C-alpha cells in the first residue's frame, strides 16, 4: 500500500486554497493542480508499505499523539520549489510558530526509521502543495504571479486547528490520486 501521514485541512481552508488555485489557473503554464479535496499537509511520506508495517505505523500514530495537545497553524505565503523563477512545485507556506508540526514530523521520522522506512533526504519544511508544474514552457508569467502573491493571504489570518494525524492510503487512478483515511489518531490532551 502506498501511504503517507498528514494533517487533514478543514473545509474552509481548502476553499481558500481552491480560490488561490483559481487565481493561477488562467495562466498559460502547464500545471497539474491538486484537487481541493486532496489538499493536506504531509508530515511523512511512507511510500509502499506492507500490512505488517501498517499495523506498526498505526501504533506509532497513537503513541505520537497520545501525550500531545491540539495546536493551531496558519497559512502564510505562496512560493515554489526549487525556486520561484523555476517552479516545479507550487506551495503555500504554513506558519508553525512553536515548531509543533516540525517536532511531530521529526518524531514520525524517528519512529518510521525504526520500522525500516528510509529517512527523508531533505529537512521538513511545513508547506502545502497545491500544484505541480509539468513543463517549464510559459513559466515566466506563472513565476511573476507567484512573486506577486508572496504576501498572500493579504489582510486575512487563515488559521486552522490541528487535533489529529491521519494515515492515508494513496491509490493512483486515471483521474489522479485517490486518498483514503486508514487511521486517525487524536491528540488526547485538551
* Catalytic residue check, 40: yes
User: Which of 96, 127, 130, 143 is flagged as catalytic?
Assistant: 127
The rounded distance, in Å, linking the Cα atoms of 147 and 73 is 23
For 64-81, the DSSP string reads: HHHT-B-EEEEEEEEEEE
**Partners of 81 in the β-ladder:** 89
User: Which of 16, 17, 31, 40 is flagged as catalytic?
Assistant: 40
For 115-151, the DSSP string reads: TTPPPPSSPP--EEEEEEE--STTHHHHHHHHHHTTT
What residues act catalytically? 40, 127
Amino acid at each position: 500500500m502506498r501511504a503517507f501521514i498528514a494533517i487533514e485541512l478543514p473545509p474552509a481552508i481548502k476553499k481558500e486554497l481552491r480560490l488561490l488555485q483559481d487565481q493561477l489557473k488562467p495562466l498559460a503554464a502547464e500545471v497539474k493542480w491538486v484537487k481541493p479535496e486532496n489538499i493536506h499537509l504531509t508530515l511523512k511520506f511512507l511510500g509502499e508499505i506492507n500490512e505488517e508495517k501498517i499495523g506498526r505505523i498505526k501504533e506509532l500514530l497513537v503513541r505520537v499523539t497520545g501525550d500531545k495537545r491540539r495546536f493551531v497553524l496558519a497559512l502564510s505565503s505562496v512560493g515554489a520549489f526549487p525556486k520561484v523563477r523555476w517552479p516545479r512545485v507550487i506551495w503555500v507556506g504554513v506558519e508553525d510558530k512553536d515548531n509543533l508540526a516540525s517536532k511531530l514530523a521529526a518524531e514520525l521520522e524517528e519512529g518510521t526509521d525504526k520500522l525500516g522506512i528510509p529517512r527523508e533526504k531533505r529537512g521538513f519544511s511545513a508547506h502545502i502543495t497545491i500544484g505541480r508544474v509539468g513543463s517549464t514552457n510559459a513559466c515566466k508569467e506563472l513565476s511573476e504571479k507567484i512573486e506577486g502573491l508572496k504576501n498572500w493571504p493579504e489582510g486575512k489570518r487563515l488559521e486552522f486547528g490541528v487535533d489529529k494525524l491521519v494515515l492515508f492510503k494513496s491509490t493512483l487512478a486515471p483521474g489522479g490520486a485517490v486518498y483514503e483515511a486508514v487511521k486517525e489518531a487524536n491528540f488526547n490532551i485538551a
